[in-house]
Chain A
Amino acid sequence: MVARPIAAVLLAATIVTISIRDAEAHPLHTTLTEITVDATRHTLRATVRLFADDLTAALLKHRSLRGSDLKDRAAAYVAGNLILSSAGRSIAMQSCGVRQSGDLLWVCLETRISAEPVQLRVRNPLLLEAFSDEVNIVQIGDGPKRRSVLFLRGDGDKPL
């Protein structure tokens, strides 16, 4: 009489256990990008914080970015994926350094500007090729003027 419900419960437990791909913990897959415009130095800078293990997983999907130095590959990967544009023209960014603090990488990209950028837009698909739950946060401004834009899978460019 009770054998059928017990079998059903065990079957359900087996299906749930098998259908969950792995038993890894559930980390936050998030990057944080801060964009600053320095009018006195005529520079536009993007500082991207991302986790080294997440980046390593994403780099595995890019043959052209295989190599030994993680910082070099981080700079190349971020420069190739974080796309800024002003008034419809893309802004070419150069690396201004990469540093590692524990598990976290800080990637700096910078460009010289002649005037305050207008109609600034950004596209940020960082790490989305590796993690479906990736959330990329882009922030610009300071204090109460700070604005944030979120990038999820499938998002194109967005105004800042």
Chain B
Amino acid sequence: MNELLTFVHVGFRHIVDVEAMDHILFLVALAAVYRLRDARMALWVITAFTVGHSISLALAVTGVIRFPSAVVEFLIPVTIVLTGIENLVVAARRRSSRAGWYRPVLAGVFGLVHGAGFANYLNALFVARIALPLFGFNVGIELGQILVLSIAAVLLSILDRAIERASARQGSWAPLQVRIAAVSTIVVIVASHWAIERRPW
């Protein structure tokens, strides 16, 4: 296997591994507001996350910035909580004139935090030659995110069907709003628990 493929593999595994629950939960929080027909927008959002992620990795591994691990580890669940809250608060998302651009910006900014989470690890391991490992790692991360997002889309569609069936009986539920509320509430509760556990003080 050549060196580039090696690091694509490492980045991919880093995201799809079950241990990576913080990244997976963040992706689920981002995906929770989209339907299959919004796939292009969802892809923009996770690509923005990867760009933010790559920028902080590049800054850290080139020694421009050194991120304090304890603070970064605390901020990662905080970004998940904020994404969940944003999902809950912005109810009239599709009518918002800013709906097309601010979520990718938000994902990009939060990506900066997530990238910092393992920048120190990559920096320590690949002191002499970082460009190729970094590039391959980020490509792997993006591919892993697309896979996680695809699985999330299927599961959210199944959830939508269940909500539609239930709403047919109840009569008054808006299925997408119920899905956003349910998934985002779970995300906020779980990530809040992590944030409390990881608080640096």
* Residues of A that sit less than 8 Å from B by CB: 1, 5, 8-10, 12-14, 16-17, 20, 22-28, 30, 32, 49, 51, 101-104, 132-133, 135, 137, 139, 146-150, 152
Contacts and interface: CB of A to CB of B under 8 A. Distances in A.
A32 B126 CA distance: 9
8 contacts: A12-B182, A13-B185, A25-B69, A25-B72, A25-B117, A147-B3, A148-B5, A150-B1
A23 B193 contact: yes
Interface of B: 1-3, 5-6, 9-10, 13-14, 17, 19-23, 69, 72-73, 76-77, 117-118, 120-122, 124-126, 166, 170, 178, 181-182, 185-186, 189-190, 193-194, 197-198
Nearest to B166: A5
Contacts of A24: 198
Contacts of B21: 20, 26
A158 to B, nearest CB: 10
A150 B125 contact: no
Contacts of A148: 1-3, 5-6
A25 B14 contact: no
Contact of B124 (A9, A51, A133): A51
Contacts of A13: 185-186, 189-190
Nearest to B125: A32
A150 B9 contact: yes
Given A139-B3, A147-B2, A5 B125 contact: no
Nearest to B14: A28
A49 B133 CA distance: 15
Given A23-B194, A49-B125, 18 more contacts: A5-B166, A9-B185, A9-B186, A13-B185, A13-B189, A23-B193, A25-B198, A28-B14, A28-B121, A28-B125, A32-B126, A102-B124, A103-B120, A135-B9, A139-B3, A146-B2, A148-B1, A150-B10
Nearest to B121: A28
B5 to A, nearest CB: 8
B73 A5 contact: no
A26 B23 CA distance: 8
Q: Please classify the interface of chain A as helix (H, G, I), strand (E, B), loop, or mixed, using the class held by over half of its residues.
A: mixed
Contacts of A149: 1
A158 B181 CA distance: 49
A26 B198 contact: no
Nearest to B6: A148
B6 A150 contact: yes
B1 A1 contact: no
A133 B17 contact: yes
Contacts of B193: 17, 23
Interface-central residue, B3, B122, B126, B197, by most chain A CB under 10 Å: B3
A23 B198 contact: yes
- CB-based closest 4 A-B pairs: A23-B197, A148-B6, A13-B189, A25-B73
A101 B125 CA distance: 11
A38 B134 CA distance: 28
A5 B182 contact: yes
B70 to A, nearest CB: 9
Contact of A26 (B1, B9, B19): B19
Given A5-B178, A23-B197, A25-B198, A17 B189 contact: yes
B185 A51 contact: no
Nearest to A103: B124
